[in-house]
Amino acid sequence: MSSPKNATLPKRSISPIFWLLFGAGGMMAALIGPGLIIITGIMIPHGWGVPESFDSYASALAFARNPLGKLVLLAVIALLFWHAAERAFLTLHDMRVGPVLLLRWATYGLAAVLTLVVTAVLLAIGF
C-alpha cells in the first residue's frame, strides 16, 4: 500500500532533547543530590566520619582541578539546572503566564546561560 504524494510528515520537534536533559537532571536530583547535601552540608562541617587531618577545602579543590572531576561537577550541576528549567517551564505554561515561545526562551535560556557560567568557572579554577 503506497502513501499519497501529498501526505504530510509529522512536524519535527526538539522537545525530546529537553526531556532527555529533564530526565537526567531528575535522576541526578534524586540519586546524587541528597548524598551531596548530607556529605558536604552536614557531615564534613560537623566533622562526622572525617579524620582530624582531613582538609575539605584542599580535597574539593583537588577534585575540581582534575579534568574528570570537572566533567562530573559540570554534569551534576548543569543537569540540575536543566531539570529545574523544565519544571519551571511546565509550571509557567500550566499557569498560562505568557506565550510558550517566551517561556521556553526564558527557562531554557537561563539554564543554557547558567551551564556556560558553570563551565567558565570550572575552567577558571585551573588544572
113 within domain boundaries: yes
44 within domain boundaries: no
Cβ atoms of 126 and 65 within 8 Å: the answer is yes
What is the pLDDT at residue 2? 57
The Cα-based distances of 4 to 12, 54, 85, 94 in angstroms read 20, 71, 41, 38
What is the pLDDT at residue 88? 95
> What does pTM read for this prediction?
0.76
What is the CATH number for 91? 1.20.1300.10
Across the 127 residues of the chain, what is the mean pLDDT of every consecutive 10-residue run? Answer: 67 86 89 85 83 82 94 92 93 95 96 97 93
Cell 551551564 appears where? Answer: 115
**Would you give the end-to-end CA distance of the chain in angstroms?**
61
8 within domain boundaries: no
Conformational region of residue 97, where left means phi above 0, alpha means psi within -120 to 50, and beta covers everything else: alpha
The number of distinct structural domains making up the chain is 1
50 within domain boundaries: no
- What range defines the domain where residue 104 resides? 15-29+56-125
Grouping H, G, I as helix, E, B as strand and the rest as coil, residue 6 is coil
111 within domain boundaries: yes
